[in-house]
């Protein structure tokens, strides 16, 4: 048995996340307070997606639902309010996220100017269109169809609290500071599993829904970025490399599991909820 201890949504890809007490489980990820996970994304003028890898300052741009708007705050910036209502007249812009090219809705020049000023680099804000389905690769799902929005590849990222505790114990042994969970930007955090037991789950489920871990999450340098300051620091990948290189992923350093929703889209998950943890063997 596992306990759901955190639910996190990232309305704008690679910007600050928001912790919520409850969220609706959808095939494309979590939704809460009128927004979906990774519903918006910053792109270059050529449509290439941007993340904290290129712009660590994105960690300081905090979107929060506020009535009929998504209010975005940033250091030294006036707040930007984006309407939550869908704009049927929004121009279509083709954007690229990894190997996928997606038709997105451009959010206009005012939003582009705000984010360009905030990052100190030209960019535009786009929104995932309601009429678009972005399928995940079936290579890791066993042929089960799934979908996501602007997440890297899958609708949910799961990490067990014990896995972070294990890493922090190793960091302490090396004389380094512990890291908070937000460095790894999960959607679901659970307690009650052994360290890295999420790697071996067939599913986390209740009577009404089931989430299946399908692919180890290969880590990039983002965990080195302090999400409270936007400043890169010591990268934990050197410690993780000593015991978390995954041969299934061609030796990539992995922490957390990408998941799909196999049952119960529309069900509400709540922090504190107990989930049955079914092992894959």
Residue pLDDT, tens place only, 157-177 = 999 999 999 999 999 999 999
Q: Say whether pLDDT at 126 is over 80.
A: yes
Q: Is 150 exposed, middle or buried (0-12, 13-18, 19+ CB in 10 A)?
A: buried
Q: Give the chain's mean pLDDT.
A: 96
Please tell me the predicted confidence (pLDDT) of residue 281. 75
- Confirm if 196 and 164 have CB atoms less than 8 A apart: no
Pairwise CA distance, residues 74 & 78, whole Å: 7
Please tell me the predicted confidence (pLDDT) of residue 32. 98
Q: How far is CA 53 from the centre of its chain?
A: 14
Pairwise CA distance, residues 81 & 88, whole Å: 18
Report the pLDDT averaged over residues 41-54: 97
Share of the chain above pLDDT 90, in %: 96
Helices then strands, each counted (H, E), the chain: 3, 22
Give 169's Cβ-side CA count (13 Å radius). 7
Report the pLDDT averaged over residues 38-45: 98
Is the whole-model pTM more than 0.75?
yes
pLDDT in tens, 179-220: 999 999 999 999 999 999 999 999 999 999 999 999 999 998
Q: Say whether pLDDT at 254 is over 80.
A: yes
Kindly list the domain boundaries of the chain, sorted by start residue.
2-15+136-279, 35-132
Please tell me the predicted confidence (pLDDT) of residue 221. 87
């Amino acid at each position: 048995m596992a306990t759901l201890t955190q639910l996190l949504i990232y309305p704008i890809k690679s910007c600050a996340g928001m912790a919520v007490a409850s969220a609706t489980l959808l095939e494309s990820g979590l939704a809460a307070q009128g927004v979906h996970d990774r519903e918006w994304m910053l792109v270059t003028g050529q449509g290439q997606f941007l993340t904290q890898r290129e712009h660590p300052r994105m960690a300081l741009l905090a979107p929060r639902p506020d009535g009929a708007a998504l209010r975005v705050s940033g250091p030294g910036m006036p707040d930007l309010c984006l309407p939550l209502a869908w704009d049927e007249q929004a121009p279509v812009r083709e954007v690229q996220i990894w190997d996928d090219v997606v038709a997105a809705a451009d959010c206009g020049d005012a939003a582009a100017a705000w984010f360009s000023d905030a990052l100190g680099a030209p960019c535009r804000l786009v929104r995932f269109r309601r009429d678009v389905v972005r399928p995940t690769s079936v290579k890791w799902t066993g042929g089960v169809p799934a979908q996501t929005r602007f997440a890297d590849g899958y609708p949910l990222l799961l990490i067990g609290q014990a896995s972070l505790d294990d890493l922090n114990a190793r960091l302490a042994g090396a004389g380094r500071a512990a890291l908070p969970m937000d460095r790894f930007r999960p959607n679901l955090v659970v307690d009650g599993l052994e360290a890295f037991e999420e790697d071996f789950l067939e599913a986390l489920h209740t009577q009404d829904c089931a989430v299946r871990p399908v692919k180890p999450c290969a880590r990039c340098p983002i965990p080195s970025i302090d999400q409270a300051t936007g400043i890169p620091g010591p990268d934990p990948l050197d410690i993780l490399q000593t015991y978390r290189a995954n041969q299934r992923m061609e030796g990539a350093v992995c922490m957390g599991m990408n998941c799909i929703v196999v049952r119960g889209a529309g069900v509400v998950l709540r922090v504190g909820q107990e989930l049955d943890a079914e092992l894959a063997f």
